Amino acid sequence: MLEFLNKPYPFNDDLKHNTKIIFFISVGVFVFLFLFQPLQIDALATRDKYILVIGMGIITFLSLSLNMLILPSLFPKILHGSSWNVKKEIFWDLWILFTVSVGYFLYYKVLEIMEFGFDMIIKLILIAIVPTSVLIVLNRHRLLRSHLRLANELNIKLKEHKSSPDKLVHFVSDYQKDNLSIKASIILFIRSANNYIEVFWREGQEIKSQMVRCSLMKAEEVVGDDKFIFKCHRSYLANINFVDKIEGSSQGYRLYFDKVDFPIPVSKNYAIKLKELI
């Protein structure tokens, strides 16, 4: 469970897209309240009804603008995709729900146009769940559609890609006994494993690997002249020439290699580099 909560999750910091979403959700809340008139709205006089419904639409707009436009602009280091994960996303969605609910609550208290009890608080929270849920669904759908589209484009271009030049690279171990010299052209990927790296390469039809005691940073320096081997994640270097396919999901991209039974993740920060290489 803890491993799942710590999985990377892309933070939605697209301010232009968020502005459109905020507008449509706010209008949607207004239309929902006006048509169905929950929270005893149907018992109000026409003037009070319009004041309440329009006001709640504005409260929705202000609350979402605070969380999706103002806070990401004021705190870009905190609200940024590079360090975002599932756990933070859950707390963030709950925070948005809280701010919208409090906004509704304060507005009702200020108007004083109907009796207010505990049951009304519960109903306000349930109403606030509507824009928050819509926001979550739209965000996941946007990310999924974007990643799938780009993954399809990259898969098409992969087939047209040229192979890298044939040169020998040397991974020098801290222990020296497990040094590795290998052609860069046959390296599939390199992954970090604590104080070691594990180099995977193709030899004929077989996939082989070897542990070398050195850091991924040193490995990146060793293969630095080979433009087709790039850092795709804080724990991985990948050779774009051996990528069999790319899959996109709401959480980003994954690279698949033939005869390797696990995918390689691509962090959001390196997705642009992946596209440039291809």
Q: Check residue 67 and report its DSSP letter.
A: I
Q: Check residue 85 and report its DSSP letter.
A: B
Say if residue 68's pLDDT is above 80: yes
pLDDT of residue 145: 73
Binning pLDDT at 50, 70 and 90, where does residue 177 land? confident
pLDDT digit string, tens, across residues 181-193: 998 889 999 999 8
Q: Check residue 231 and report its DSSP letter.
A: E
* Number of Cβ within a 10 Å radius of residue 41: 17
Reported pTM? 0.52
- Residue scoring higher pLDDT (228 or 197): 197
3-state secondary structure of 198: strand
Task: Please give the C-alpha separations between residue 121 and each of 43, 55, 106, 113, 124, in angstroms, as whole numbers.
Answer: 18, 17, 11, 15, 5
pLDDT digit string, tens, across residues 105-164: 888 888 877 666 667 677 777 777 777 777 777 777 777 777 777 777 767 766 655 444
Say if residue 29's pLDDT is above 60: yes
Task: For residue 121, count CB atoms less than 10 angstroms from its CB and return exposed for 0-12, middle for 13-18, buried for 19 or more.
Answer: middle
Say if residue 262's pLDDT is above 50: yes
pLDDT of residue 115: 65
Say if residue 18's pLDDT is above 70: yes
Portion of the chain with pLDDT greater than 90, in percent: 18
In the chain the domains, ranked by start, together with CATH numbers, are 2-157 (no CATH), 161-277 (2.40.50.1020)
